[in-house]
Amino acid sequence: MAVAQEKMTKVCLFLEQHHLPPTPLNYQVTYTYISKSDTELNAALDSILNSGQKIDSIYLEQLYFEYINQGHQEEAAMLKNVDGLLSSLHNSTRNSQRNINQFSEQLHHCVHSLDEHNIEKSKRALMLLSKQADALLQQQVQFKATLRNARLMHKKTQQQLLKLRKQHIIDTQTGMYKRHYLNQQTQLWLQQNKPLCAIAIQVENIDEFSNKYGDAIAEVVLNRVARKIQKYVFESGLPGRTGKNEFTVLLPDVEPETALVIADKVLKGVEKLKFVSSKSPLELPSVQLSLGIVKQQQEADFTTLARKAAQAAHKALTLNQAYYIPS
């Protein structure tokens, strides 16, 4: 009991130290970290903490899906197995039906061709066999109907799993991809040796919206910015929410020059956004963005690449520039 109480105290202190809300997800990740029960999770979190980078609920959510809750991978594997089983059953049924049809046709042909007097007994036997073949054929038809129902059930289950998978990878507030999904895609593209660029997009004055006009307005602002980002990178990249006020866009097979064109479109699109308070006719402040554009070089994972892009965005802010591309 004393050990458990000590862990709970450490968890609460950790959350308070890093200004993290005590949500069930944050608590579970922190408790796992404090307990040192997952060496890979601890190594990932220690790496971020040692680098001096600020952690938030978005990053803890990435750790949760990567190290604690890997259920979506099991669901995908299960769905793949079911697909294979049903396809195999369908092929077997089709082949069996074709063979039975051929057998039935041959029997009927044999019965009609028998016309000698002394084979009446054999003819009756063959007719009986033919009826049995017809019965077997009818059973096969019923089996196919059962299989069709199973396929309909499988389709419904597949839709439910896809809906559940969407909940795993999509940020409900902004509709952007979650950090852990960006990490998965980064690993895939790195394994394929694809050139990769990243754009960090930081909404610098989101706290101003929140403090002056309320969290609901700040959420509206983030949603509008997210939609603009999705509009300009939907076909060329993978946009995700990677922090409270930060988005990261991954661009495979894209060089920094092209990434700059996309970043410029995002900037101009966000500049056109206008926000008016429902309580007064006055316009709210414009959204202030800082962008960092980097190309993957030695970075071996998404977290390192995203950190490099975020540092470039911070550099743009300090230089009072819209964007910054490190040399």
| pLDDT of res. 311 | 94
Residue 126 has pLDDT above 70, yes or no: no
Contact 275, 283 (CB under 8 A): yes
Q: What is the mean pLDDT of residues 183-187?
A: 90
User: Helix crossing, 120-169 with 71-113: angle to 10°?
Assistant: 160
Q: Is pTM, for the whole model, over 0.85?
A: no
- DSSP string across 276-302: B-TTSSPBPPPP-EEEEEEE-SS--SH
Residue 282 has pLDDT above 80, yes or no: no
Q: pLDDT band for position 239 (50/70/90)?
A: very high
| pLDDT of res. 186 | 92
Cβ atoms within 10 Å of 25's Cβ, excluding its own: 16
* pLDDT tens sequence across 13-59: 899 899 888 887 888 889 899 988 889 999 999 988 988 888 888 88
| pLDDT of res. 65 | 82
| pLDDT of res. 280 | 65
| pLDDT of res. 226 | 93
| pLDDT of res. 76 | 58
- Least confident range from 91-105, 167-181, 287-301: namely 91-105
